[in-house]
Each structure stands twice: as C-alpha cells, then as structure tokens.
Structure 1
Amino acid sequence: MAAATRDASPISRLTDDDLSIIFLYFPVPVLPSETMSGVQDLAPYEQNSDKDDKTWLHISHVCRRWRSVSLSCLLIWSNINMDPSRYDLAVASLERAKGAPLTTIIDWTMKRSGQLEVLRDLTSKALWELSHTRHLIFRGKILESAPQRVKTPNGSKIH
C-alpha cells in the first residue's frame, strides 16, 4: 500500500531533470549585490549562514532517488565555502562539481589554532580548479601576504 501511494504522489512523477531544477531553488551560498564603500563584498559575513547553506545537503538525505539526483546535479555543488572545519564537505563539493563553473569562497579571517595548514591545503585545491572557476573570492588579508601563505598546484610559491 505504501509503495502504491508513493508512486501516485505528484513529486514521484517528476523527471530527474525537473527535480534537479527544483533543488536549485533551495538556498546555496549566493553572491549578494550589496556594496560597501564602493567595493562589492561578494561574501559578507552572516551569522547563521551555515544553517541556510546546507538545505541542499538535507535534500540529499530524503530518499534514495533524491540523493542520487542531488549528487549528480553539478550545479548544486558548484558554490563552495572552503571552511577548514568542514574540510571533507569542501573537498567532496569540489569533486562533485566536476567541470561545472565554480564560485569558491576562501575565508582567511578564520585562522583558528591549527587551521592554517588546512586552509592552505583548501586554497591549493581551489587553485587546481581555476580552469572552470567563475568566482574565486578571498576574504581577509590574503592578498597582502599570499606569497608567504599559498603554494601553487605545482608546489612553487606565488611571486
């Protein structure tokens, strides 16, 4: 009886492509259009932003079909916050996005004890994906000391 009810539900009649399009309407990290002092802040700090950013992750845990569709939809994974405390999620997002145009946010203001090396590693991984990166956003003072902090994908320092 439960299987018959499930198959009769309107959502189950949607194609995988239609379901993917619906998933894209749920919150992912969005580029705001706010301007501060004439400089556009593409990654403003928001209290509780993690809560909203993970809606698409919760979608992938509803049922097997939704998980399969959400994991195969490259655009869901193409907005990436390189958070050292969520290293595995950041790396998985890079892998799942495959060749989709990326928007990557790397926050160098989050230099908690022991996270600098992880942040360097995530930055290096993001640099490997430059060929299909639409936006690479550094927050903090990375630009002042990038040569000292970041190595390029081939292991050399930035000059």
Structure 2
Amino acid sequence: MLNSNNKTNNCKSSGLFSSKRGFGGVASTLIMFIAIIGVTTGMVMSFQNYFIQTKTVLDSQQKQTNQKLKTFITITNVFYDDSSDNLRIYVKNTGSISIDTGFVDVFVDNDFEGNLSTYEAGTTDLIENLITADTMYVDYPVVLIPGSHNVRVVTELGVGDNVDFNVK
C-alpha cells in the first residue's frame, strides 16, 4: 500500500522541486544571454568602425579624383642655354584649380632633379601656388648634347605634360 503522503515525500527528497536547481538554470541562461549581447555589440561596433573608415577613404579618394580631373598643365616653351648649362621650362596652369609648386616634379630625358625652384613667368619672384591661367618657369641645371631630348613636368596628383625638343 502506498501512502499518498509518501509520494509527496519522495518527490521532495529527490529534489524535483528544489529551488537551487531552478535558479542555476536561470543564472546560466542569463549569463549566456549577457555574453551573446556583449559579443553582438562588439561585432556591431567593429562593423560600424569598418564602414566609417571605408566611407572616409572613399570620400578622400573621390576628392582626390575630382581635383585630378580639374588639374591640367601645359609646357609652353623650353629653352636651353648651353653657355650656362641651364634648361628653362615654362609651364602654364590650364586647369581650374591652383597647383602647389612645391610638389611639381621635372624630368629631363627620364632623369629627375630634386629641389627645383619655381618662378613666376617674366619675373624672378619665387611662387608657391600656380593659379589658373598663370605661367611659371623652372630652371633645370643639365648638360645636354646636340640632338633630341624630352622634358616631362608632373604635378602632385600625377597630372603632367611632356615635350620633345632639339638642342643644336
């Protein structure tokens, strides 16, 4: 004979209604939930930073490309003075933005000479920015033999012009 009171005692003694076991399951679930929220938040923040950096880089590249499209130069004259071994190159800004002359590179027969000074055409005044429609000149010290030669002038954005000329 089974006593109904016995059934209740058996269930209580086996721990089926123990509050400690139920709290442990809730606590572990809560800890897992907090961990998942933390990881998800970290991932969202990481992706957000990635997208912000990508947008910044794309904006910078777009600005540079836009400036490059507005930059044009033309070599208008090349004069070689063999008595002083000096090549004078006249360059006109035919674009729509100013050019920082500190970043203008000059190549003669594919040879580069650094730290060249740029002057406003018709004067001996140094210039730092070549504004639209203005002309500058650069003196390039070089010994050239008679024959065909090439000069190339390149701006900071990679836009340039080149001219072939002869020395007699």
Which TM-score band (shorter chain)? under 0.3
Higher relative contact order, structure no. (Cα contacts within 8 Å, ≥ 6 residues apart) = 2
Larger Rg: 2
Structure with higher strand content: 2
Query: TM-score when scaled to structure 2?
Result: 0.23
Structure with higher helix content: 1
Query: TM-score when scaled to structure 1?
Result: 0.24
